[in-house]
Amino acid sequence: MNNNKLENLEEIVDEIQNKIELIGNTLNLIISELGDENTEFQAKFISSTLSVDKFRDEFTKFVNEEGDDDIKFTMIEVNEMIERLKNGE
């Protein structure tokens, strides 16, 4: 790959990263505003986020390394509940 194509690829990646950051910041604002006023929305958002296996697994690993006992216990319950749902229980 020549330098021109590599530079173009780097520019494209930078542009995508900037757009992802903007989307993330906007989403954080929306979730904060809605979640502070509506606990049902907050619970649904958390549930939908944790329903993504890869994200939940990474978050569980983070919680196990960095979290306090209360959040660890909560994640154990969440993971068990999701396993029961997957198994049709």
The predicted pLDDT at position 45 comes to 86
Per DSSP (E only), the strands in the chain are none
pTM above 0.85, yes or no: no
Indicate if 60 and 86 belong to the same structural domain.
Answer: yes
The number of distinct structural domains making up the chain is: 2
Indicate if 52 and 71 belong to the same structural domain.
Answer: yes
Indicate if 89 and 50 belong to the same structural domain.
Answer: yes
d(CA 78, CA 84): 10
Nearest Cα residue to 56 out of 68, 46, 66, 44? 46
Residue 28 structural domain: 1-37
Q: How far is CA 66 from the centre of its chain?
A: 16
**pLDDT, tens digit only, all 89 positions of the chain:** 577 887 889 999 999 999 999 999 999 899 889 888 888 888 888 888 888 889 999 999 999 999 899 988 888 988 888 888 888 86
Indicate if 29 and 57 belong to the same structural domain.
Answer: no
SS3 of residue 2 by DSSP: coil
